[in-house]
């Protein structure tokens, strides 16, 4: 008879005892107390936090850690700086659960490669601490360094204001400033946005457009005469597929002038062609009229 579950001879009990032994060994090796962080470092981190906030700069754990490393030759871990701020009530911890997509961050490879633009509402305060007027603040942000390239305040953000701000930002930041390359690369993830923006060469637009290609996918339905339509360079073209496929939903895979028409349900390729921009109707090349009927006269014998 097999041993009863949970008894001294059963495998669940043996596995449980092994886990308990492993836990006791880990607890025995762990230090009984953590060495405290020197009080001078704590006071210095809090002072840097206060100065950065008063100057209107970023004052997170990464920025404070960068200042401690480059100005005071102290290299505390980022988690240590964060704990100092939390324990002294300088930051409010976020919720314990966050959506997984909030941890995904897309970052451009070079400064000036991609910019982001948005605007926020902000209520001003009057000299008597009473609520003032509401303003809108448009910003242009570099996607590589998160550096604010342009910040301005307006009563209302309009299209001309956005265009003007973009033009000013382009004139101010379109040149590649490479004099600071390698200045602060010891800990690239702990640099300030301004340092990250100036530490690498800037992306510039390419003047060679020969390799540019236009790709798109169009969904259509073959009409009663067996054609589909496609607009190219502002002109509508009719592409013949065949009356046999009338009423069939298709997908048109367009790569510049190369077009592939496939059945949306089965994936069968119905036609491949190179568009002739000079012609409105792109014929199939088959002779007009119904396809000739095949006749079977039976086998032939010599």
Q: pLDDT tens, 247-287? A: 999 999 999 899 999 998 888 999 999 999 999 999 888 77
Q: 123 and 72 in one domain? A: no
Q: Look at residue 276 and tell me if it is in a domain.
A: yes
Q: Is residue 96 part of a domain?
A: no
Nearest to 143 by CA among 168, 109, 119: 109
Strand partners, 137: 120
Average pLDDT over the chain, rounded to an integer: 78
Please tell me whether residue 236 adopts helix, strand or coil conformation: strand
pLDDT value of residue 179: 32
Q: What is the pLDDT of residue 278?
A: 92
* Helix axes 39-54 and 61-72, enclosed angle (nearest 10): 110
The token duo for 86 is 């939390």
Q: For residue range 67-91, list pLDDT tens digits in order.
A: 998 888 888 899 999 889 988 888 8
Domain closes at, from 163, 198, 233:
198
DSSP state of 103: G
CA-nearest of 243, 252, 256, 177 to 214 is 256
Residues 223 and 178 in one domain: no
Count the neighbouring beta carbons within 10 Å of the beta carbon of residue 114.
15
Give domain status of residue 230, yes or no: yes
Is residue 49 within 8 Å of residue 59, measured between CB atoms?
yes
pLDDT band at 198 (very low <50, low <70, confident <90, very high): confident
Within a domain: 7: no
Q: Which range, of 35-44, 75-84, 175-184, 239-248, averages the lowest pLDDT?
A: 175-184
Q: Give residue 181's pLDDT.
A: 32
Predicted confidence band at 229 (pLDDT cuts at 50, 70, 90)?
Answer: very high
- Section 111-133 average pLDDT: 85
Q: What is the pLDDT of residue 26?
A: 60
- Which domain, by its residues, includes 48? 39-87
Q: Which of 198, 231, 263 is the last residue of a domain?
A: 198
- Say how many Å lie between the first and final Cα of the chain, rounded: 83
Q: Any idea what the Cα angle at residue 148 is, between residues 144 and 151, rounded to 5°? A: 155
pLDDT grade, residue 178 (50/70/90)? very low
Q: Are residues 175 and 230 in the same domain?
A: no
241: in domain: yes
Query: 116 - beta bridge partners?
Result: 141
Within this chain, do residues 79 and 122 fall inside the same structural domain, yes or no?
no
Residue 273: per-residue pLDDT: 93
Residue 228 lies in a domain: yes
Residues facing 125 on adjacent strands: 131
64-73, 210-219, 222-231: the lowest-pLDDT one: 210-219
**Phi and psi, residue 45, nearest 5°:** -65, -40
Number of folded domains in the chain?
A: 3
pLDDT at 6: 44
Asked if the structure places residue 256 within a domain, the reply is yes
The Cα–Cα gap between 266 and 252 comes to 14
Residue 177, SS3? coil
Does 79 share its domain with 130? Answer: no
Pinpoint the alpha helices (H) of 126-271. Answer: 159-173, 193-198
From 198, 229, 251, the end of a domain falls on 198
In a domain, 45, yes or no: yes
Residue 227 sits in the same domain as residue 269? yes
Phi-psi region of 133 (alpha: psi -120 to 50; beta: other; left: phi over 0): beta
Per-residue pLDDT band for 301 (boundaries 50, 70, 90) equals low
């Amino acid at each position: 008879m097999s041993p009863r579950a949970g008894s001294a001879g059963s495998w669940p009990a043996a596995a449980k005892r092994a886990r308990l032994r492993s836990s006791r060994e880990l607890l025995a090796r762990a230090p009984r107390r953590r060495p405290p962080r020197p009080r001078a470092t704590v006071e210095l981190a809090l002072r840097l936090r206060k100065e950065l906030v008063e100057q209107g700069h970023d004052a997170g754990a990464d920025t404070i850690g960068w200042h401690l490393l480059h100005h005071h030759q102290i290299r505390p871990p980022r988690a240590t700086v964060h704990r100092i701020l939390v324990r002294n009530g300088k930051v409010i911890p976020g919720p314990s659960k966050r959506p997984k997509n909030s941890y995904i961050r897309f970052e451009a490879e070079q400064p000036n490669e991609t910019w982001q633009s948005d605007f926020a509402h902000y209520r001003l305060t009057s000299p008597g601490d009473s609520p003032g007027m509401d303003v809108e603040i448009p910003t242009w942000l570099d996607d590589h360094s998160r550096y604010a390239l342009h910040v301005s305040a307006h009563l209302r953000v309009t299209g001309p204001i956005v265009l003007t701000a973009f033009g000013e930002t382009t004139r101010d930041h379109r040149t590649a400033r490479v004099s600071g390359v390698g200045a602060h690369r010891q800990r690239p993830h702990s640099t300030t946005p301004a340092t990250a923006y100036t530490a690498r060469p800037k992306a510039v637009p390419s003047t060679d457009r020969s390799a540019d290609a236009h790709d798109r996918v169009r969904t259509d339905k073959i009409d009663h005469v067996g054609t589909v339509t496609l607009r190219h360079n502002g002109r509508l073209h009719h592409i013949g597929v065949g009356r046999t496929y009338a009423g069939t939903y298709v997908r048109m895979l367009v790569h510049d002038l190369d077009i592939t028409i496939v059945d949306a349900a089965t994936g069968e390729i119905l036609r491949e062609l190179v568009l002739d921009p000079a012609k409105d109707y792109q014929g199939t090349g088959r002779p007009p009229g119904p396809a000739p009927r095949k006749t079977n006269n039976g086998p032939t014998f010599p």
